[in-house]
Amino acid sequence: MEWATSFFGRLMRSDSSSSTSSTPWFAVDSTEPLLAVVDAPPELTARDLNKATRSFSAARLIGRGHNATVYKAVLPCGTAAAAKVLGTPPSGAWTGSMCRCSRYSGKAAVSKKLATPPPSGAWSASDDAFLRQQVSVLSMLRHDNLVRLLGYTIAPDLRVLLFEFATAGTLHDILHGPRGEPEPCSSASRPAVTLSWAQRRQIALDVARGLQYLHEAAAVSHWGVRSTNVLLFEGLRAKIGSYDVFEQLPRPGEQGGDTLVAKRTLVPTCGYLPPEYLMTGLRVPRKADVYSFGVVLLELLTGRKPVDMDNHKLVTWAIPLVRKGEVEQWIDPTLGTQYPPAGALKLARIAEQCLHKHPRSRPSMGEVAQVISDFVRD
Ligand SMILES: Nc1ncnc2c1ncn2[C@@H]1O[C@H](COP(=O)(O)OP(=O)(O)OP(=O)(O)O)[C@@H](O)[C@H]1O
């Protein structure tokens, strides 16, 4: 617990020292405190969780990520949640194909079953102790634009994190249609909803603020910023999911510096990886997030996937057009004429800066959030 306490101390210190703005950004638009001194989220028994997910039935399967399988859960209080299970899913629950709850109604939560098996495939007592520390850190991360941890289960054969349930799905699904196989480089499919200009701008701001909080208050990077990790709630307000602090934190006994350096290997996410990583393997964690955010911003503006079915990269296609300034050549055609060309160009220029080939030349997420926030208020 000493380790978690020192991490918490780092969080508390970082709020004032790392912000790039003279205005305390965290106090401006969030209804949440910077870091909540919170009641620990409840630990559910495996029995509770089986009940909440109908024994991880195929009908409750929401999707599968690189490290986890996610099921819809309904907590005893009636709240819907997403249960995230890392590692091997419960026996028989995963059939190998993507299933989705077609309609989520009522109060539900999402539970992520995080089994995080070490390379050996088995969980040791110290792995579980580490997971408990991670849960205590996650419970301290509170922001309007981060998906909140609602509970967890750590049982001998079941390790699950329960998160708020995103009632409107993911940004990827709304922009590009539900994911099929293969993922994430699948061919185009029809979007279910057309986002308005105002909604796109607000989503961009929400994601920027969530990342700013992670970088500046929590001193961690996300490492997996992409439209599948932008979760949408009531009113299409966005929160960032899959913020895996886990492998960025020092294990007990390890040296933890002031700046946490991600240890995990970047998963191959087509179209979102920065050039310095692709070309030399260089990792500049927060600036990699800024780059990935730039790609998400281009998705919002163009309605296109980061990599299309012919393997063309969105960045390579869009940036030269943005530089020419001819908005109608790259703006999402589903917007029709319902957007302000000057505003669209301004957002695209922010994306261009985020996508700068030199990591140091990319802005911080604090700067990005500030610019978009000023722009939303205009
Ligand atoms: N809180 C949530 N509410 C609703 N659905 C969710 C939630 N979290 C995840 N999902 C769904 O489950 C799927 C898998 O999520 P998960 O976070 O495990 O992986 P991912 O984001 O797709 O990829 P990665 O593991 O690389 O981050 C998501 O694509 C999304 O459809």
Query: What is the Å distance from ligand 1's center to 350 Cα?
Result: 27
Please tell me the distance from the alpha carbon of residue 204 to that of residue 232, in angstroms, as a whole number.
12
Of the pLDDT bands very low, low, confident and very high (cuts 50, 70, 90), residue 199 is very high
Please tell me the distance from the alpha carbon of residue 265 to that of residue 66, in angstroms, as a whole number.
12
Pocket of ligand 1, beta carbon within 6 A: 62-68, 70, 82, 84, 110, 147, 163-166, 170, 224, 228-229, 231, 241-242, 267
CB 79 within 8 Å of CB 150 = yes
Query: What is the Å distance from ligand 1's center to 242 Cα?
Result: 7
pTM for this predicted structure: 0.79
Q: What are the tens digits of pLDDT across the range 293-313?
A: 999 999 999 999 999 888 899
String of DSSP letters for 262-295: --SPPP--TTTS-HHHHHH----HHHHHHHHHHH
Strand ranges inside the chain, DSSP E: 61-64, 68-74, 80-86, 109-113, 149-155, 158-164, 230-232, 238-240
pLDDT at residue 337, rounded to an integer: 94
pLDDT at residue 25, rounded to an integer: 23
Q: Does the model's ipTM exceed the 0.95 cut?
A: yes
Of the pLDDT bands very low, low, confident and very high (cuts 50, 70, 90), residue 115 is very low
Give whichever of 53-67, 264-278, 318-332 has the largest mean pLDDT.
318-332
CB 229 within 8 Å of CB 237 = no
304 vs 115: which has the higher pLDDT? 304
Of the pLDDT bands very low, low, confident and very high (cuts 50, 70, 90), residue 74 is very high
For 212, phi then psi, to 5°, come to -60, -45
For residues 92-100, average pLDDT: 29
Distances (CA, A) of 279 to 193, 226, 284: 37, 20, 13
Q: What are the tens digits of pLDDT across the range 125-162?
A: 877 887 888 888 888 889 999 999 999 988 877 889 99
- What atom in ligand 1 is closest to the CA of residue 165? 3
Q: What are the tens digits of pLDDT across the range 273-295?
A: 999 988 888 888 899 999 999 99
Please tell me the distance from the alpha carbon of residue 83 to that of residue 60, in angstroms, as a whole number.
10
Name the H helices within 54-160.
125-140
CB 309 within 8 Å of CB 239 = no
Residue nearest to atom 17 of ligand 1 (CA): 242
CB neighbour class for 119 (10 Å; exposed up to 12, middle 13-18, buried from 19): exposed
Query: What is the Å distance from ligand 1's center to 47 Cα?
Result: 23
**Is residue 84 annotated as involved in ligand binding?**
yes
